[in-house]
């Protein structure tokens, strides 16, 4: 018998397992696929600051495929560019990230069971459980957790594509081809890019995909690889509980701990995973701890998503223009955060915004 059974060997699961292991617990990490990290359903674009916080588990420098220092934000007709004087994000090999985290867990004395699908309570090997098994979580279903209220249906392909700027990610807010979400072009190399989009209305994905690829002059180009996936856009109302003899907590996509603004979940998944590994024996404390640490950030991402959802086509252009004329673009370059938006609401960051209005020598 184990002290903790972690279900799912993605970032949330591996970081939960390693954290519990380092606190002296006997941990089983189970993964339904025969190979950790496969298939990879992720763009692999992660903030540089977020990766720094994960380096005690994964040496991310080994898996960087490209470095991003610029973001081009596209409305219907307008475009705003944010150019950072330092690496803002990295495109990583997501499969290798998951594998390195799992290898670290084994190296430190943990046990992993691959090709092990959890389908009933009888498959669980501990009284404390971390469900880190994705947005359609079996653990959440087995214990009848509230459903995730909102999802985006997404698609991404790896294309032979020459980006005009290898250091720039392109983000498209035009609702005519990404209704309810965004489209993206993430360069990997001079000759390859990750291109994808998401939608929130059922049945819109095929039409949106066709229109987006047509806009990029790629409609007749076959991707080298592709996948479709669900992205949680809101947090479950409840992510922990005591069910008979089981203490159960959910982390990462299984809990809906994902940025609703962009669909990124690696940083919050790993961070909440650490808390899950430490507090799985006390579900109420875990619920309080993760919401205190990251609830405000995830709410702010959700508010941004909700704001963009109600803007008409011309409103997106007005939003970008307003940011430029109010010098918020300069402020974002100075103090902008990809993950923890709450860090931008501090006296220091507000002073940085005031300085954008000072005369430049």
| Domains by residue range for the chain, with CATH | 2-66+88-148+234-307 (3.50.50.60), 151-232 (3.30.9.10), 311-355 (no CATH)
Q: Quick one: which of 132, 154, 102, 105 has its CA closest to 252?
A: 132
Q: Over the stretch 264-288, which tens digit does the pLDDT of each residue have? A: 999 999 999 999 999 999 999 999 9
Structure tokens at 99: 């594998």
Contacts 24+ apart (CB under 8 A), 172-175: 172/74, 172/197, 172/212, 173/73, 173/74, 173/75, 173/308, 173/316, 174/74, 174/75, 174/76, 174/313, 174/316, 175/313, 175/316
φ, ψ (nearest 5 deg) of residue 22:
-70, -20
Which stretches of the chain score pLDDT less than 70?
360-361
pTM: 0.95
pLDDT of residue 360: 54
Q: Over the stretch 11-36, which tens digit does the pLDDT of each residue have? A: 999 999 999 999 999 999 999 999 99
Instruction: Please give the order of strands across the beta sheet that includes 45-47.
Output: 45-47, 89-92, 64-68
Q: Over the stretch 74-116, which tens digit does the pLDDT of each residue have? A: 999 999 999 999 999 999 999 999 999 999 999 999 999 999 9
Q: Are strands 183-189 and 168-172 parallel, antiparallel or unpaired?
A: antiparallel
Name the 3-class secondary structure at 232. Answer: strand
User: Beta partners for 167?
Assistant: none
Q: Are strands 2-7 and 126-131 parallel, antiparallel or unpaired?
A: parallel
d(CA 39, CA 78): 36
**HSE on the CB side for 224, CA within 13 Å?**
9
d(CA 277, CA 21): 8
Name the 3-class secondary structure at 216. Answer: coil
d(CA 43, CA 323): 27
């Amino acid at each position: 018998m184990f002290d903790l059974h972690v279900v799912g060997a993605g970032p949330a699961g591996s970081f939960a397992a390693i954290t519990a292991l380092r606190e002296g617990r006997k941990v089983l990490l189970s993964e339904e696929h025969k190979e950790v990290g496969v298939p990879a359903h992720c763009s692999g674009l992660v903030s540089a600051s977020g990766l720094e916080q994960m380096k005690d588990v994964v040496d991310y420098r080994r898996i960087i495929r490209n470095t991003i220092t610029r973001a081009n934000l596209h409305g219907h007709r307008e475009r705003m560019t944010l150019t950072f004087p330092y690496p803002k994000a990295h495109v990583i090999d997501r499969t290798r990230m998951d594998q390195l985290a799992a290898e670290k867990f084994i190296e430190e004395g943990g046990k992993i069971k691959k090709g092990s699908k959890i389908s009933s309570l009888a498959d669980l090997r501990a009284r404390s459980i971390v469900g880190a098994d994705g947005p359609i979580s079996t653990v959440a279903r087995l214990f009848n957790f509230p459903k995730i209220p909102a999802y985006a249906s997404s698609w991404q392909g790896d294309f032979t594509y020459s980006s005009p700027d290898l250091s720039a990610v392109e983000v498209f807010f035009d609702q005519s081809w990404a209704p309810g979400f965004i489209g993206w072009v993430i360069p990997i190399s001079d000759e390859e890019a990750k291109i994808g989009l998401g939608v929130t209305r059922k049945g819109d994905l095929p039409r949106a995909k066709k229109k987006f690829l047509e806009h990029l002059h790629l409609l007749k180009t076959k991707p080298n690889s592709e996948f479709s996936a669900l992205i949680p856009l809101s947090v479950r109302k409840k992510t922990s509980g005591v069910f008979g003899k089981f203490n159960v907590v959910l982390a990462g996509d299984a809990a809906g701990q994902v940025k609703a603004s962009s669909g990124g979940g690696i940083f919050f998944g790993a961070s909440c995973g650490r808390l899950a590994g430490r507090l799985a024996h006390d579900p109420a404390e875990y619920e309080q701890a993760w919401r205190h640490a990251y609830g405000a950030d995830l709410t702010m991402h959700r508010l941004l998503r909700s704001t963009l959802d109600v803007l008409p086509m011309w409103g997106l252009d007005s939003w970008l223009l307003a940011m430029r004329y109010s010098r918020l673009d300069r402020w974002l370059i100075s103090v902008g955060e990809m993950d923890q938006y709450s860090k931008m609401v501090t006296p220091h960051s507000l002073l940085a915004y005031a300085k954008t209005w000072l005369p430049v020598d």
